[in-house]
Amino acid sequence: MLLERIYDHDLAQASYFIGCQSQGVAIVVDPRRDLDVYLELAAKNGMTITAVAETHIHADFLSGTRELAARTGATMYVSDEGGPDWTYGSAFDGAVRMKDKQAITLGNITVEAVHTPGHTPEHLSLLVTDGAQADAPGFMLTGDFVFVGDVGRPDLLDEAAGGIDTRFDGAHDIFTSLRDRFLTLPDYVQVLPAHGAGSACGKALGAIPSSTVGYERAFSWWSHYVTNHDEQGFTDELLNGQPDAHAYFGRMKIQNRQGPEVIGAVKDLVEFTTAEVASALADDSAILLDTRHNSEVHQGTVPRSLNVPGTDKAASYGAWVYNPETENRPLILLAADEAEAAELRDHLVRVGIDRVAGFVTTLDGLNLVKPQLVSPTELDAFERVLLLDVRNKTEFADGHIPGAEQLSGGRLMWSLDELPSEGTIVTYCQSGVRNSVAASALRRDGYNVAELDGSYLGWAAMPGAVPAA
């Protein structure tokens, strides 16, 4: 058996390629929408992708299940658990809808569905048996059920999908799933989760790629509560201190349930001249994505551009500031060359940002403006209507500038009714990176924004600075 983990550091998301070498067939689980990595793995190993599955209706990225099935002819496998409110839409009418204990056979490999609700009602984990070596499962693809050192948050439906107090039923379901489905497995079963450290799908995810049932039984924070039948203690600890859920999660949840649009073969990106960019910006027919670090942006950027610094977090930050449901203007990417532009585009399509017109390699010759900055020493005397902390609420609780209000960058553009419409807003994050992203989106929307130079760390380094808690 061949088993490969494909990890997206941007979204802290893992998909899996599992192949039977004797029969030359493979399944991909929880794929993203840019497919080259899976197609190249199949070609390299002389395999045909005949199946594609997902563990649940995802919220943090746009699923590539339909995309991969359309490209390869693979059969789709999705959950048929959770009740009518969690049934995949008609775009999946050609899919096999999986019930608990239903199995997929790929040569010598068996993939068995295990209903593990809690993070979402329809959630499936997948037990994998390598029939060439064993007659029992040795691996469990746990999706967003069990992570390394943590479990999936049950409050995401409340925070991002419009649910009301679903977190309590979700916490109960996770507790039950852990007790009755996970901890009944042998200790040697390897745990292969769908997320790692940095994901907003949990609060304490480990950075190690995999674990085992035995390791989680012995060392995870939740094991004591479950083995001692303390469901209330488990629920209290699970729900306490979860990170802010990004607002775009709600869009992902709806699109993934209905069925993401199939992109098909991607086209070569157009390289624009600065004159063409200037013309597009002048008639407001495109938006420039300034991909430089905030220190460079502060030296001058295109008015009303959006700052998404580099490829590493292009999907995450791009989804903060560009909503394809309300924005129909395409993006022009600032990139060193076509290869970097293509990588940026690949990240953006993972969150459903498909309208990329092309790229430009320089801003020379364009009209540039410097964003307004406020130094920490000027902050107290600076006239403002709001001091806005765009970090997560957990960071804010650990210490913030006195008088600040918190609204995380990932929710900001969906919460504009909470902001004053007139006057200057001073914004900050921890170091300035997220702040520049958020401030660029606010400026594009017409707000008067000044960024705190050096952000929270710059302020905290001043003699006499006393954070509020």
Burial class (CB in 10 A: 0-12, 13-18, 19+), 381: exposed
Helix (H) or strand (E) holding 450: strand 448-452
Q: Are residues 102 and 140 in the same domain?
A: yes
Q: Are residues 122 and 27 in the same domain?
A: yes
Q: Are residues 117 and 232 in the same domain?
A: yes
Q: How far is CA 379 from the centre of its chain?
A: 34
Q: Are residues 247 and 147 in the same domain?
A: yes
Q: ∠ at Cα 172 (408, 110), nearest 5°?
A: 95
Final residue in a domain of this structure, among 227, 258, 289: 258
Predicted confidence at residue 162, as pLDDT, reads: 66
Final residue in a domain of this structure, among 228, 258, 288: 258
Burial of 117-143, coded b for 16+ CB within 10 Å and e otherwise, reads: bbbbbbbbbbbbbbeeeeeebbbbbbb
Give the pLDDT means over successive 10-residue stretches in the chain (469 positions).
Answer: 97 97 98 98 98 97 98 98 95 97 98 97 98 97 97 83 82 98 98 92 87 98 97 96 91 96 92 97 97 98 97 97 96 97 98 97 96 97 97 96 97 96 97 98 98 98 95
Q: Are residues 87 and 152 in the same domain?
A: yes
Q: Are residues 62 and 157 in the same domain?
A: yes
Predicted confidence at residue 206, as pLDDT, reads: 86
CATH number of 85's domain: 3.60.15.10
Q: Are residues 154 and 233 in the same domain?
A: yes
Predicted confidence at residue 266, as pLDDT, reads: 87
What are the two backbone dihedrals, phi and then psi, of residue 15, each rounded to the nearest 5 degrees?
-120, 165
Sheet holding 270-271, edge to edge: 270-271, 356-360, 331-334, 287-290, 306-307
φ/ψ bin of 264: left (φ > 0), alpha (ψ from -120 to 50), beta (otherwise): left
Q: Are residues 210 and 334 in the same domain?
A: no
Predicted confidence at residue 198, as pLDDT, reads: 85
Active site positions, annotated: 429
From the list 396, 385, 382, the residue with the least C-alpha distance to 453 is 382
Burial class (CB in 10 A: 0-12, 13-18, 19+), 267: exposed
Query: Which residue range forms the structural domain that includes residue 130?
Result: 2-258
Strands (E), 73-189: 75-79, 96-98, 103-106, 109-115, 124-130, 139-143, 146-147, 150-151
In a domain, 366, yes or no: no
| Helix ranges restricted to H, 220-313 | 223-227, 231-239, 248-258, 274-282, 294-297
Q: Are residues 205 and 162 in the same domain?
A: yes
Final residue in a domain of this structure, among 337, 360, 383: 360
Predicted confidence at residue 164, as pLDDT, reads: 77
Sheet holding 211-212, edge to edge: 103-106, 109-115, 124-130, 139-143, 190-193, 211-212
Q: Are residues 42 and 179 in the same domain?
A: yes
Predicted confidence at residue 170, as pLDDT, reads: 95
In a domain, 467, yes or no: no
Q: Are residues 304 and 280 in the same domain?
A: yes
Q: Are residues 169 and 282 in the same domain?
A: no
In a domain, 390, yes or no: yes
What are the two backbone dihedrals, phi and then psi, of residue 466, each rounded to the nearest 5 degrees?
-125, 110
In a domain, 143, yes or no: yes
In a domain, 194, yes or no: yes
- Counting the structural domains of the chain, the total is 3
Whole-angstrom Cα Rg for the chain: 23
In a domain, 120, yes or no: yes
In a domain, 330, yes or no: yes
In a domain, 365, yes or no: no
Q: How far is CA 257 from the centre of its chain?
A: 16
Predicted confidence at residue 358, as pLDDT, reads: 97
Q: Using the 8-state DSSP alphabet, how is residue 88 labeled?
A: -
CATH number of 408's domain: 3.40.250.10
